[in-house]
Every structure is written in structure tokens, then in C-alpha cells.
Amino acid sequence: MGQTLRGRHLLSVRDLSPQEVRQVLDLAHHLKREHRAGIRHEILAGKAVALLFEKPSLRTRVTFEVGVRQLGGYSVYLAPQDVQLGVRETVPDVARNLSRWVDGIVARVNRHAALVELAEAAAVPVINALSDFEHPCQALGDLLTLEERFGGFSGIRAAWVGDGNNVCHSFLLAAARVGLSVAVATPPGYAPDPDVVAEAQAEARRWGASVRVLTDPREAVAGAHVVYTDVWTSMGQEAQREERRRAFQGFQVNQKLLDAADPQAVVLHCLPAHRGEEITDEVLDGPRSVVLDQAENRLHAQKAVLALVL
């Protein structure tokens, strides 16, 4: 394993160069093959990782806990009521205390600014397990899934349909770093952050790919090899639920929309899904859905990140 990521924070896909994304993916493929062959690793032997979660989780918590254990380390889970970042004590105080006990902090936070503050005060690496602005580990798992399916990224086109949210931000930045073209379709007012789009477009051009932002889901999906969607209302946006349901009518990933994609197109969803809203059961549970591969690959992508950073 290379040493370029050792001791560094991973708060954003922006923290990884294209070469470092390649390094994470190569190691993730390797660790997955060896896990399936029954080969055990002690890469994190004697190391402790704090899982500091302000939001509930199924995939993120389980994959990080299991991943740390599979690499020979151990984790300490801190639930939303345990720490209360910035309420019970300041974010820097939490970071400085945890740094005396553990070798790394995996944080799932409400505000990205709190994650940045945590990293600034921590003496150990901080890994973003979801913030309101990005979800880099999800994007790495997505790339791992797509590379398994297509063998690479050259000539592959993805469509993002729905909200230009935190997962969309990370997917755009990650896709651009491997030359995967993406067309995003959102209702007016729900497009991804313009700075993220501009950065992704510039990076994608270096690899002969493109990033487009549209308002017509059929235009985005036409001929796409990948159709990706996420919930219309993320955690913390519950008060906007009805407003968002109205705004996103016509953006559901259903069989009719999927028929506009490439005949061999696969469907991604980071889960949990609001079945019947952003995606139908027919598509989510259908033969072109790879959402469970996606969920499984979170484990192996995150193991690679942990091994390289810690």
C-alpha cells in the first residue's frame, strides 16, 4: 500500500486526486477478493476508531464497524445522544479528547462545517461518513460497483435523476476523477452546488468526459448506462417533504423512464429508498438494480480508505 493518504483527513472527494481515487479502488477490489477467499488481515491491529454519529444509520454504521473489525481493529460507536456536538461540549473539545484515545474518527454529522471544525482540532484522521454537503465514502462504493459491472469507466455515461444533494455532489466529483460522464436532471431550484458542478466539469474534461446539468429527466437518461437516484427529502428536510414531493413529480425512476436508457443500464440508489416516490418497487427490485451490490461495496471501499488513512 502507498503512503500518500496516511494520516490525512477525508472530508470530501476533493481531498483525493484522481490517482488517489484509483489507489482506493484498487485496494478495495483486492480486499474484497481476499475477504471472499477467507483471507484475514490485521492492517488495523491494535487500532481504535471512534464512530461519531449525529444521524441514524444502517449501511454506514454496519459497514464501518464490520470493516474495522475485518481489518483487525476495533470501534467505539457514539450515538446521537452520546456526544451532542456543540451542545454538550464544543466540537474542538470533542476532537481533542477523542484524539487522545483513538487512532481515527469516522463522523456522520448534520453540518459539514462541524466536520471541518472537528478535523481542524483533531490530531488523528477524520473520515466523512456523511454530512449535509458530501458523502465521499458512498461515491467510492458507487465507483467500485460500476467498475465491477462495466470493467472500467471509459465511454460509460451516468444519469442522476432527482435532488442535487450531498450524494450527488460526491458522485459528480468522484465520477469526474475517473472519466465517467454524468448528466444531472433536477427540478429548477434543486440543482447541485454550482461550484461543485464547475469543478467536476473541469476535471471531467481532462479525461474526455462531461458533466451536464438539465431539468428534463428523459434527456439525462437517454442512452445512459447508469441511472442513479436518491430520496427527494433527505434527513433534516422533513418540513419540506410535501413541497418537495410536488416539485419532483415527473422525476420518479420507473420502468418507463428506465426504458429510455441503454438496454443494459444498471440502477443505483444509495438507500434507504422511499419506495413509490423517487423509485418504484419494479425498478428497485428489478433485474437491472445493483443497489445491494452498492451497499455491499460500501464495506470494501471503506476498508480501503481505513487501511490507507490509518
> Could you list the active site residues?
108, 135, 138, 230, 270, 298
The residue with cell 428536510 is 237
DSSP per residue, 49-111: EEEEESS--SHHHHHHHHHHHHTT-EEEEE-HHHH-BTTTB-HHHHHHHHHTT-SEEEEE-S-
* Separation CA 290–CA 268 (nearest Å): 6
DSSP 249: T
In sequence order, the 6+-apart residues with CB closer than 8 A to the CB of 42 are 71, 72
266-269 sheet: strands from edge to edge = 211-214, 181-185, 157-161, 226-229, 266-269
Task: Give the position of cell 423512464.
Answer: 257
